[in-house]
Amino acid sequence: MDPNLTARKTVTVTQLNNFIKDIMDNVAPLRDISVKGEISNITLHRTGHIYLTVKDEGALLKAVMFRGDAEKLSFTPKNGDKIIITGRISVFVRDGVYQMYANSMELDGVGSLYVAFEQLKARLAEEGLFDESHKKRLPPVPWSIGIITAPTGAAVRDMINISGRRFPGCEVVLYPSLVQGPDAAPNIIKGIEYFNRTRRVELIIVGRGGGSIEDLWAFNDEKLARAIYASELPVISAVGHETDFTIADFVADLRAPTPSAAMELALPDTAELLRKFGNVRSRLSSLLSRRLESEQKLLRMLSERRAFTAPWTIYQDKQLETARLADSLEKAWNDQLNTRQKEIKSLRSLLASYDPLGVLKRGYSVTYDKEGKIVKSASSVREGEQFSVKLAKGTLTGVRTEK
């Protein structure tokens, strides 16, 4: 007890509140107590803390849950939820009120895990993580499959046995992982990232055997759901029994009712493949036989043609054709030559009619001055200048003596 309170009657508010806090902190039942009621006035603070009031028909209780404990909740509390909240009762000295400092919270009546499952399922569906358009097709004949599961469980033994029976040529790569508890989801995520990074396999199977909702809860983890969605390799979810559904089932590219069924869906049956290959081989053989028969028929028809039975006759025909073409070419050349000769003769006669020498032969003459230019007027030759007269035969020269 605070000695200040026993020494005098007047105390500060802080001293009084601290005194009451010390008393309440030392009451054993108040250190760990569970209270049920309805949530009201809840605040999900940006710091991660949760502030709320728990009420019933007759009273209110203020409560706070700090971020470290709030992050562990499997559901998102809201006003009106019926809850059971557990923690310690103490006094908040500054306000002088007592409240619960909660370390856990669960829904009263409906299981909190179920509510958390439905809330996460609705949110991821709204984001499009379950859309069929995003789901990848499985390889028709995978030669390597990665399995992420517990290394000692019955599920992995069943999957390996089925692989050996259905398709022995497929390599099965096991990534050992926890499949239950708080560390299971991070382990499984690492396995998905490993196979996507190394590309050792063509397909991933994530799964485990059956169990309660608590046992399977790791496969309802939001981070795991986003890792499956982001995987570039196809993912089959094979969690629990046929009636068990998890978030991983909805986001995976294919949901298998059991781990054994996952391997059945992932791998072709060798006997069925051999039967299909046999059918394909028969069809190919039939097609090739028909093609071969058709080609042989064509070959026989070609071999009966004159080009193969009497090839020299074709040579002779070509010789005759060549000779005919040579005659036609020679005739065309001669015709063209004659035509051009006639044209040249006609042009020559036309040019001769314009020849000035031809005019001179008819008694005319042409007079030139001393520079050899044609004289067109007598006045263009001065007195004493020399000129010449061109006749049909010969040339006369003279000097002008008068104007």
Domain co-membership, 252 together with 342: no
Q: What angle, 0 to 180 degrees and rounded to 10, lies between the N-to-C axes of helices 184-198 and 222-230? A: 10
Residue with tokens 């939820």: 81
| pLDDT digit string, tens, across residues 194-234 | 999 999 999 999 999 887 777 888 999 999 999 999 999 99
Per-residue pLDDT band at 27 (split at 50, 70, 90): confident
The reported pLDDT for the residue numbered 276 is 79
If we measure between CA atoms, which residue out of 221, 255, 216 comes closest to residue 235? 255
Domain co-membership, 170 together with 256: yes
The reported pLDDT for the residue numbered 359 is 63
Cβ 39 vs Cβ 80: under 8 Å: yes
Q: Is 274 part of a structural domain of the chain?
A: no
Enter the tokens of residue 345: 């003769």
Q: Is 293 part of a structural domain of the chain?
A: no
Mean pLDDT is lowest, of 5-14, 143-152, 384-393, for 5-14
In one-letter notation, the amino acid at residue 243 is: T
In one-letter notation, the amino acid at residue 17 is: N
Per-residue pLDDT band at 57 (split at 50, 70, 90): confident
Cα–Cα distance for residue pair 156/148, rounded to 1 Å: 9
Domain-ending residue, one of 253, 268, 283: 268
If we measure between CA atoms, which residue out of 267, 272, 256, 280 comes closest to residue 140? 267
| Greatest mean pLDDT range, 39-48, 272-281, 343-352, 365-374 | 39-48
Q: Is 144 part of a structural domain of the chain?
A: yes
Q: Is 280 part of a structural domain of the chain?
A: no
Domain co-membership, 363 together with 349: no
**Quick one: average pLDDT of 141-146?**
94
Per-residue pLDDT band at 403 (split at 50, 70, 90): low
Cα–Cα distance for residue pair 212/91, rounded to 1 Å: 40
Give percent of the chain above pLDDT 90: 39
E strand spans, 135-280: 144-149, 171-176, 203-208, 235-239, 254-255
Cα–Cα distance for residue pair 184/64, rounded to 1 Å: 29
Q: Is 206 part of a structural domain of the chain?
A: yes
| pLDDT digit string, tens, across residues 328-342 | 999 899 999 999 998
Q: What is the DSSP-derived secondary structure letter of residue 169?
A: T
Cβ 83 vs Cβ 39: under 8 Å: yes
The reported pLDDT for the residue numbered 188 is 96
The reported pLDDT for the residue numbered 224 is 96
Domain-ending residue, one of 67, 92, 109: 109
Q: What's the CATH number where 100 sits?
A: 2.40.50.140
Domain co-membership, 60 together with 123: no
**Quick one: average pLDDT of 124-129?**
94
Is residue 303's pLDDT more than 90? Answer: no
Q: Is 52 part of a structural domain of the chain?
A: yes
Enter the tokens of residue 22: 């010390």
Is residue 22's pLDDT more than 80? Answer: yes
Largest CA distance in the chain: 175
Domain co-membership, 344 together with 395: no
Mean pLDDT is lowest, of 109-113, 310-314, 352-356, for 109-113
| Between 5 and 159, residue with greater pLDDT | 159
| pLDDT digit string, tens, across residues 75-85 | 888 888 888 89
Is residue 110's pLDDT more than 70? Answer: no
Residue 343: which H helix or E strand, with range?
A: helix 311-353
Cα–Cα distance for residue pair 30/373, rounded to 1 Å: 147
Is residue 63's pLDDT more than 80? Answer: yes
The reported pLDDT for the residue numbered 360 is 65
Domain co-membership, 122 together with 264: yes
| Between 78 and 391, residue with greater pLDDT | 78
Is residue 304's pLDDT more than 70? Answer: yes
Domain co-membership, 52 together with 25: yes
Per-residue pLDDT band at 316 (split at 50, 70, 90): confident
C-alpha triplet 30, 31, 34: angle, nearest 5°: 70
What domain range is 44 assigned to? 3-109
The reported pLDDT for the residue numbered 108 is 78
Domain co-membership, 78 together with 167: no
Those residues whose C-beta lies under 8 Å from the C-beta of residue 280, and which sit 6 or more positions away, are none
The reported pLDDT for the residue numbered 122 is 92
Domain co-membership, 21 together with 102: yes
Q: Is 283 part of a structural domain of the chain?
A: no
Domain-ending residue, one of 211, 243, 268: 268
Is residue 4's pLDDT more than 70? Answer: no
Does residue 98 sit in helix, strand or coil? strand
The reported pLDDT for the residue numbered 351 is 79
Does residue 29 sit in helix, strand or coil? helix
Per-residue pLDDT band at 6 (split at 50, 70, 90): low
In one-letter notation, the amino acid at residue 244 is: D
Q: Is 289 part of a structural domain of the chain?
A: no
| pLDDT digit string, tens, across residues 228-262 | 999 999 999 999 777 778 999 999 999 999 999 99
Query: How many structural domains is the chain composed of?
Result: 4
